[in-house]
C-alpha cells in the first residue's frame, strides 16, 4: 500500500457542486479550471524614463537620487527620501523643447582659481570647487537683507539680518577678479540694495576694479520717491534690473503684497528722463500673471527706458514654499504665452537655449527694433548653424567665424547686458558680413532689445547636473562664490545669513561698549548723523 503522503502529491479532479466547474487539486492547493484563469498581461509604463540625476529632499535637503521622466509631453522630476518619502514636480511643460535644448550644450570655461575642495560632492562643496564645470558670467552681491517691501514671494526672505560694509564688498570684488581675471558683470542685490547707505561707494568700487557692467536689482520704490538718490544713481549710471510683474494692480497685490503699479510706472518714467537703462524683471506665477507676459513684453518694447525683459518663473524658496509642485510655471509656459499673446509678433523659434549655463536653465532672444518694426535676431541668420560654432560641431566656417562665435557666446550668455554698446557690437557681428543695420554703434544699442527667460531651481526641481554648470554666482564675504540655485536651495543662504548677522551683532555690541567707555571716561560722544 502506497504511503499516504505520496497519494496526496498526485493531482486529481475534485467534483464541485457547480455543474461544469471541476477543480484540480495539485500539491494540496486548489487550482481553478483553465477557462477561469485570469491572463496577466504586461503593461507599458505611462511614462518614459529619460535620465537619472542627483537632487535634494525638499524637506531635509539630504542629497538623493532623482529620476527625470517624460509623461504626457511634460518633464517631471521624481525622487524618494528615505525619511520623507516620494516627491514629484514638473520641470518642463514641453518635453520636446526640453529634450531638443540639449544640442545647445557647450563645454564650459574653467575659472582661474577655485575656493573650496571636493569633499562631500555636489552640491555640498560649493565655493567654487574643482568639480564645477563653468566659470561665473554674472556675480551677485547681496549687500543687505533689509527691504522696504514685504513681498509674499520673496525667495531671499528679506528682513532682519546683515548689512555689508564697503570693505567687505571690496574684498568680494577683488576675489571675483582673482577668480575670473577679467570679470564682466556684477549685480548688487539684497534685500533692497537702494536703501544701503554705501551703495554708491560699492558701485564705484566695482568700476575701479574694471568691472565693465554694473547692475542694481531693485523694486524701484526709492527711484520713484527720492530725487537726491536718483541724481546720485544717474551719475553712476548702472543698468537697473527692475522688478516689474505686470500691468494690473491686483498682480502686485498678490505678488508684492500691495498695489505698486503707479509707483512702478513713475519710477520707469523717471529713469527715462535721466537717460538710464532698465531691464524689466517679471516674476511669473500661474493663475496670477501668466496671461500678462505678452503685455509686459509689449510695454517694454515701447517704453524709452527699457532695453530688455527677463521673465522669471517664481522660485519656491524663502517665503513662498507652500505651492503645488505640479502647477509651477516653466520656461515653455512663458515662451508659449509670449507667442500666443503677441499677435504673431513672435514664434517659438525666436527663443534659443543659452549654451553658457545648462541649456534647460535659460533661453534668450534678441530683437532689432526700428519704430513699429521688430525683427528677432534668429530670423536674421541661421541660428542653429551659427550656434553650432559655439557647441564645437564640425561645420564649414566663414572667414569671420571666430568673431561670430565670440559674439554669439556673449549674446547667449548670462553676461549679456541690454542697452550696452558691447551687446550692440556683438549683435552687429552676429548678423554677419553684408547685413547693414543702418546705425552707428552708439545708436544701435538703442535698437537692440533682449528677451530672457530664466528658471531658477528650488528643492523640488534641484538638479545637480544643472548646478554644476551654473554661471550665476553669489559672492560671499569669506571669498567663496556659490552657484545661485545651490545658495537658495541647499542651505547656504541660511548659513551665511546667520553667520553675518551674528558677526554684525557682535560688532555692534563692541561699538556700544567702546562708546560707553568713552562716555564714562569723560570723552564727548560723537554727534548723531
CA–CA gap between residue 300 and residue 288 (Å, rounded): 19
CA distance 492 to 498: 10
What is the Cα–Cα distance from 77 to 463, expressed in whole angstroms?
9
Lowest mean pLDDT among 306-315, 342-351, 399-408, 516-525: 399-408
CA–CA dist 456, 489 (Å, integer): 10
Which of the two residues, 130 and 421, has the higher pLDDT score?
130
Look at residue 78 in the predicted model and tell me its pLDDT: 98
Confidence band of 433 (pLDDT split at 50, 70, 90):
very low
pLDDT at 287 over 50: yes
* Per-residue confidence band for 503, with pLDDT thresholds at 50, 70 and 90: confident
Task: Considering only residues 212 and 421, tell me which one the structure prediction assigns the higher pLDDT.
Answer: 212
| Over residues 493-497, mean pLDDT | 94
Nearest CA-CA partner of 244 in 183, 180, 165, 297 = 297
**Segment among 369-378, 384-393, 468-477 with least mean pLDDT:** 384-393
pLDDT at 524: 58
Q: For residue 514, what are the CA distances in angstroms to 82, 173, 244, 276, 510?
A: 52, 31, 45, 44, 6
Nearest to 433 by CA among 399, 475, 382, 476: 399
pLDDT in tens, 449-462: 999 999 999 999 99
Q: Is the pLDDT of residue 33 over 60?
A: no
Phi, psi of 341, deg, nearest 5: -105, 10
Largest CA distance in the chain: 121
Nine cell digits for residue 231: 541724481
Alpha helices in 415-490 (DSSP H): 421-430, 441-444, 464-467, 484-489
Report helix angle 227-236 to 199-208, nearest 10.
0
User: What does the alpha-carbon distance between residue 416 and residue 352 come to, in Å, rounded to a whole number?
Assistant: 14
Q: Which three cell numbers stand for residue 253?
A: 497685490
Q: Which cell is 107 given?
A: 563645454
Cα first-last separation, the chain: 115
Per-residue pLDDT band for 523 (boundaries 50, 70, 90) equals low
Nearest to 310 by CA among 239, 406, 258: 239
Predicted confidence band of residue 396 (pLDDT cuts 50, 70, 90): very low
pLDDT number for residue 380: 73
Asked if the bond preceding 337 is cis, omega within 30° of 0, the reply is: no
Three cell numbers written together for 454: 530664466
pLDDT single digits (tens) 168-188? 999 999 999 999 998 989 999
Strand partners, 243: 281
pLDDT value for 393: 38
Q: Which three cell numbers stand for residue 384?
A: 542653429
Q: Is the pLDDT of residue 431 over 80?
A: no
Helix axes 166-180, 199-208, angle to 10 degrees: 30
- Which three-class secondary structure string do you get for 170-205? HHHHHHHHHHHCCCCEEEEECCCHHHCCCHHHHHHH
- pLDDT-above-70 percentage for the chain: 84
State the angle between helix axes of 261-273 and 249-256 in degrees (0 to 180), rounded to the nearest 10: 100
Q: Who wins on pLDDT, 432 or 82?
A: 82
Using an 8 Å Cβ cutoff, are 353 and 310 in contact?
A: no
Confidence (pLDDT) at 401: 56
Give me the pLDDT at residue 441, please: 55
Residue 22 has pLDDT above 60, yes or no: no
Looking at residue 387, its pLDDT comes to: 57
CA angle 293/296/298 to nearest 5° reads: 110
Query: What is the predicted pLDDT for the residue at 395?
Result: 37
In CATH terms, the fold of domain 98-121+135-366+450-497 is TIM Barrel (3.20.20)
Average pLDDT of the residues of the chain: 86
Give the count of beta carbons closer than 10 Å to the beta carbon of residue 413: 21
Instruction: List % helix, strand, coil for the chain (3-state, nearest 5).
Output: 35, 20, 45
In terms of Cα–Cα distance, which of 285, 206, 296 is closest to 247?
296
pLDDT digit string (tens) for 260-283? 999 999 999 999 999 999 999 999
Rounded to an integer, the average pLDDT of 322-333 is: 95
What is the pTM for the complete model shown? 0.85
Q: Write the DSSP string, 457-510.
A: --TTT--HHHHTT--EEEE-TTS-EEEHHHHHHTSHHHHHHHHHHHHHHHHHHH
Distances (CA, A) of 484 to 102, 262, 292, 357, 467: 21, 31, 27, 12, 8
What tens digit of pLDDT does each residue of 119-148 get?
999 999 999 999 999 999 999 999 999 999
DSSP-derived secondary structure letter, 137: S
For residue 225, list its beta bridge partners: none
d(CA 243, CA 263): 11
Amino acid at each position: 500500500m502506497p504511503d499516504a503522503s505520496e497519494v496526496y502529491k498526485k493531482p486529481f479532479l475534485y467534483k464541485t457542486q457547480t455543474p461544469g466547474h471541476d477543480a484540480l487539486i495539485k500539491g494540496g492547493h486548489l487550482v481553478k479550471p483553465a477557462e477561469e484563469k485570469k491572463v496577466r498581461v504586461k503593461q507599458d509604463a505611462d511614462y518614459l524614463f529619460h535620465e537619472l540625476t542627483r537632487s535634494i529632499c525638499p524637506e531635509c535637503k539630504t542629497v538623493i537620487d532623482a529620476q527625470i521622466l517624460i509623461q504626457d509631453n511634460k518633464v517631471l522630476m521624481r525622487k524618494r527620501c528615505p525619511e520623507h518619502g516620494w516627491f514629484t514636480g514638473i520641470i518642463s511643460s514641453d518635453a520636446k523643447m526640453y529634450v531638443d535644448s540639449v544640442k545647445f550644450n557647450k563645454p564650459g570655461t574653467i575659472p582661474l582659481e577655485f575656493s573650496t575642495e571636493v569633499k562631500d560632492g555636489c552640491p555640498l562643496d560649493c565655493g567654487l570647487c574643482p568639480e564645477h564645470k563653468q566659470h561665473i558670467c554674472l556675480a551677485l552681491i547681496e549687500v543687505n537683507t533689509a527691504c522696504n517691501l514685504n513681498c509674499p514671494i520673496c525667495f531671499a526672505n528679506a528682513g532682519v539680518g546683515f548689512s555689508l560694509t564697503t570693505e567687505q564688498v571690496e574684498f568680494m570684488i577683488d576675489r571675483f577678479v582673482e577668480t575670473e581675471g577679467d570679470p564682466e558683470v556684477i549685480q548688487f542685490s539684497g534685500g533692497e540694495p537702494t536703501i544701503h547707505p554705501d551703495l554708491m561707494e560699492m558701485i564705484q568700487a566695482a568700476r575701479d576694479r574694471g568691472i565693465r557692467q554694473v547692475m542694481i536689482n531693485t523694486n524701484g520704490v526709492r527711484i520713484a520717491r527720492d530725487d537726491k538718490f536718483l541724481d546720485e544713481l544717474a551719475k553712476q549710471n548702472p543698468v537697473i534690473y527692475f522688478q516689474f510683474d505686470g500691468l494690473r494692480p491686483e498682480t502686485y497685490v498678490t505678488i508684492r503684497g500691495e498695489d505698486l503699479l503707479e509707483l512702478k510706472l513713475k519710477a520707469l518714467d523717471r529713469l527715462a528722463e535721466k537717460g538710464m537703462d532698465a531691464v524689466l524683471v517679471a516674476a511669473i506665477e500661474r493663475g496670477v500673471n501668466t496671461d500678462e507676459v505678452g503685455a509686459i513684453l509689449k510695454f517694454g518694447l515701447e517704453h524709452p527706458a527699457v532695453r530688455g525683459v527677463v521673465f522669471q518663473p517664481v522660485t519656491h524658496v524663502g517665503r513662498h514654499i507652500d505651492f503645488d509642485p505640479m502647477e509651477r510655471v516653466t520656461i515653455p509656459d512663458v515662451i508659449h504665452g509670449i507667442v500666443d499673446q503677441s499677435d504673431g509678433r513672435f514664434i517659438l523659434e525666436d527663443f534659443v537655449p543659452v549654451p553658457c549655463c545648462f541649456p534647460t536653465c535659460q533661453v534668450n532672444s534678441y530683437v532689432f527694433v526700428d519704430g513699429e518694426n521688430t525683427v528677432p535676431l534668429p530670423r536674421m541668420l541661421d541660428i542653429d548653424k551659427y550656434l553650432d560654432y559655439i557647441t564645437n560641431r564640425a561645420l564649414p566656417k566663414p572667414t569671420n567665424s571666430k568673431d561670430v562665435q565670440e559674439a554669439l557666446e556673449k549674446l547667449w550668455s548670462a553676461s549679456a547686458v541690454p542697452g550696452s554698446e558691447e551687446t550692440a557690437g556683438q549683435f552687429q557681428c552676429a548678423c554677419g558680413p553684408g547685413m547693414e543695420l543702418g546705425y552707428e554703434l552708439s545708436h544701435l544699442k538703442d535698437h537692440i532689445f533682449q528677451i530672457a527667460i530664466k528658471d531658477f531651481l528650488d528643492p523640488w526641481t534641484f538638479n545637480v547636473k544643472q548646478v554644476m554648470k551654473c554661471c550665476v554666482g553669489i559672492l560671499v564675504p569669506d571669498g567663496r562664490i556659490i552657484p545661485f540655485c545651490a545658495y537658495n536651495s541647499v542651505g547656504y543662504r541660511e548659513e551665511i545669513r546667520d553667520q553675518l548677522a551674528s558677526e554684525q551683532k557682535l560688532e555692534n555690541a563692541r561699538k556700544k561698549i567702546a562708546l560707553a567707555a568713552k562716555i564714562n571716561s569723560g570723552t564727548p560722544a560723537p554727534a548723531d548723523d
